[in-house]
Amino acid sequence: DPIRFISNHSTGTFGYKIAEEAKRRGERVTLVSGPTPLVPPKGVKFIRTESALDMRRAVAKEFPSSDCVIMAAAVSDWRVDAVAKRKMKKRSAVKFLKLAENPDILGWLGRRKRGKILVGFSLETEDLEKNAAKKLKNKNLDIIVANLFKPGSPVFGDKKTDALVIDSYADMVEARIL
């Protein structure tokens, strides 16, 4: 309904920090962001989106003029198929939601990258190295940054997190990301 939505625990902090650092290093930066209360870094082109479909449109528009795309956004794989126009009250609420698959923005970029550098992120609950390497290959990425989710682990927000970084040559580095 127009009041409730399906989301995840992602804060957007990591993407904003990447944009800030790229700008500090003198790069021309476009930050495409989902809903978050974070303030965009000064001097970056900022595009706010509300949904995965909005983000896909914005990324598609900006992609041709980009040399490198770092997709740190935790875009949901699913969305509600039809949004009710009014708040669904408990008594009249549907007990099941029909879901539609969101576009795979990273996969779409990988099929069109033509020499651009493409970096993806992966949060896994098991088989971190295997699943990250598979995503790196299937989405035609140059680099993937992968985290293993454990209940209570600091993978969202302002905390340090451990990550596995794999490049397209299958070189792996374990890193502590601030």
Catalytic residues: 8
Q: Scanning the structure block, which residue is given the tokens 């303030």? A: 39
Query: DSSP 3-state assignment of 57?
Result: helix
How far apart CA 15 and CA 74 sit, in angstroms, is 10
Burial 87-105 (b: 16+ CB within 10 A, else e): eeeeeeeeeeeeeeebbbb
How far apart CA 46 and CA 34 sit, in angstroms, is 11
The amino acid that residue 44 corresponds to is V
Q: Helical H runs in 28-77?
A: 52-62
Residue 110, strand partner residues? none
